[in-house]
Every structure is written in structure tokens, then in C-alpha cells.
């Protein structure tokens, strides 16, 4: 059974200690509702999000190439940080985010494609993208390991998976504040903001080649490759 079939057949990976909010997850419809209520806050192109993440996106996603899949693309912010000559495909589960992305792409006219799709069950063939990028997303997937393994499945064997994730601060007082507010924040927005991204990736079959953490430990960039296949 391929990983995709495994996801379709309901094999799941338990939410773990490093996911930030105990062992439960919202359903896809609950996530869609939560995101629809927070489109402005989750728009990676908002002024606040630009201030916090633009330099990480710029540095990390510049290394993407070829046919690029942006998983949980939101409002399509990452397009601005990719090389001009990539072929961009974005997927997201929330129609309101995709509508905003489509508005942006209307003036970019670089042939971007957008699909409403669950990251845990990607409707693409194996090995169909040269680069898979995803930002600020594992915090929201009901089963982040299943989503990472889908990213690996659709990535060519010599391709790369570039992640930009936020998580629990390395600064004690900030981390404790995140822990304290984790439950209400998750209830409201569906975001596990005190997750530990590297620990989550380590539970998947991806091989991490490089990672860097900044912004008081709250932002992590990860370069990974898919596992060797027979």
C-alpha cells in the first residue's frame, strides 16, 4: 500500500507530545470553519506576518525549482519568494484562502494553478513535483505526519521538501506563555502554536538535511528529502 493509499484508508499517526495540545485534532470541516473566521490573521502577506516571516521565506524558498507544489498555500504568499521561472501549483483546504490567492494570481499571470485539496490526501501522482514547499502548516494538519508523507510521495526522488514552520519558543517565559494559551488558541483558530516542528518531521519518513531556527526559537526552516524508494 502506498502512503497515499494508507492516508485514504484511514491509517493515521497519533498526535504526539511535540504537537503542542495533547492528543486530539480538529476535523477538516472544523479547520475550514476556523480558518474562514481568521483569514486576515492567517494571510501570510499581512503586514505583521511579512514583518515576522518575509526574510525566512525569501532565503528558504529561493532554492526551489522546477514544478513546485505549495501545500496549504493559504493566500499564495510564497509565490513572491520563489524564483520567477518555477511552475507553481498551490493547494489548500479552505476556499476563502484560495479565493484570496486567486485574486493575487490574477495580476501575477504566471500560470499558477490552485486546487482545494486535503494535504493528507493529495490528488497527484507519485514523483510529480521537483520541489514541495509548505509554510506555517504542520501546526494545523489533523495528522501532520500523514501530510509530510504525502509531500514526500509526490516529490521526485532527487527533489527537496522545504518547510517553514513556527513553534514553541526556546525562550522560557515565551514558551510558558505559549503553553498556557495553547488550548484556547487551538480551539479558536485550529493552530497548535507550541508544536515542535523538528520533532514532528522526525516522526515522518523524511530525511532532514538542514534546519535553522530563528525569531527566539519560534521559526524553523527545514530542508528535507523524500525517502529512497525501490
Q: Which residues bind ligand SAM (CB under 6 A)?
A: 28, 31, 35, 42, 44, 72-74, 77, 92-94, 97, 118-120, 135-137, 140-141
Compute the least distance from the CB of residue 57 to ligand SAM, in Å: 8
Quick one: 47 or 173, whose CB is closer to ligand SAM? 47
Compute the least distance from the CB of residue 230 to ligand SAM, in Å: 28
| Residue 104 near residue 79, CB atoms below 8 Å | yes
Compute the least distance from the CB of residue 189 to ligand SAM, in Å: 8
Strands (DSSP E) found in the chain: 67-71, 87-92, 113-116, 129-135, 155-166, 207-214, 219-225
Compute the least distance from the CB of residue 94 to ligand SAM, in Å: 3
Residue among 199, 203, 200, 220 at smallest CA distance from 211: 220
Quick one: 93 or 154, whose CB is closer to ligand SAM? 93
Quick one: 74 or 167, whose CB is closer to ligand SAM? 74
Quick one: 18 or 192, whose CB is closer to ligand SAM? 192
Quick one: 28 or 174, whose CB is closer to ligand SAM? 28
CB closest to ligand SAM, residue no = 44
Cβ neighbours of 214 (radius 10 Å): 12
List the grid coordinates of 27: 476535523
Start-to-end Cα distance in the chain = 13
Amino acid at each position: 500500500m502506498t502512503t497515499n493509499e494508507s492516508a485514504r484508508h484511514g491509517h493515521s499517526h497519533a498526535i504526539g507530545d511535540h504537537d503542542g495540545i495533547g492528543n486530539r485534532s480538529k476535523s477538516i470541516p472544523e479547520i475550514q470553519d476556523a480558518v474562514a473566521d481568521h483569514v486576515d490573521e492567517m494571510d501570510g502577506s499581512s503586514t505583521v506576518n511579512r514583518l515576522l516571516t518575509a526574510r525566512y521565506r525569501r532565503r528558504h524558498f529561493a532554492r526551489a525549482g522546477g514544478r513546485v507544489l505549495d501545500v496549504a498555500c493559504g493566500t499564495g504568499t510564497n509565490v513572491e519568494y520563489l524564483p520567477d521561472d518555477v511552475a507553481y501549483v498551490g493547494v489548500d483546504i479552505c476556499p476563502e484562502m484560495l479565493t484570496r490567492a486567486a485574486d493575487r494570481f490574477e495580476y501575477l499571470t504566471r500560470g499558477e494553478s490552485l486546487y482545494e485539496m486535503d494535504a493528507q490526501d493529495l490528488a497527484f501522482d507519485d514523483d510529480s513535483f521537483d520541489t514541495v514547499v509548505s509554510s506555517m502548516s504542520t501546526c494545523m494538519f489533523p495528522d501532520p505526519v500523514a501530510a509530510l508523507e504525502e509531500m514526500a510521495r509526490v516529490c521526485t526522488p532527487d527533489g527537496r521538501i522545504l518547510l517553514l514552520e513556527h513553534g514553541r519558543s526556546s525562550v522560557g517565559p515565551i514558551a510558558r506563555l505559549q503553553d498556557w494559551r495553547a488550548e484556547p488558541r487551538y480551539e479558536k483558530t485550529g493552530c497548535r502554536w507550541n508544536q515542535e516542528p523538528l520533532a514532528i518531521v522526525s516522526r515522518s519518513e523524511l530525511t532532514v538535511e538542514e534546519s535553522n531556527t530563528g525569531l527566539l526559537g519560534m521559526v524553523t526552516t527545514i530542508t528535507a528529502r523524500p525517502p529512497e524508494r525501490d
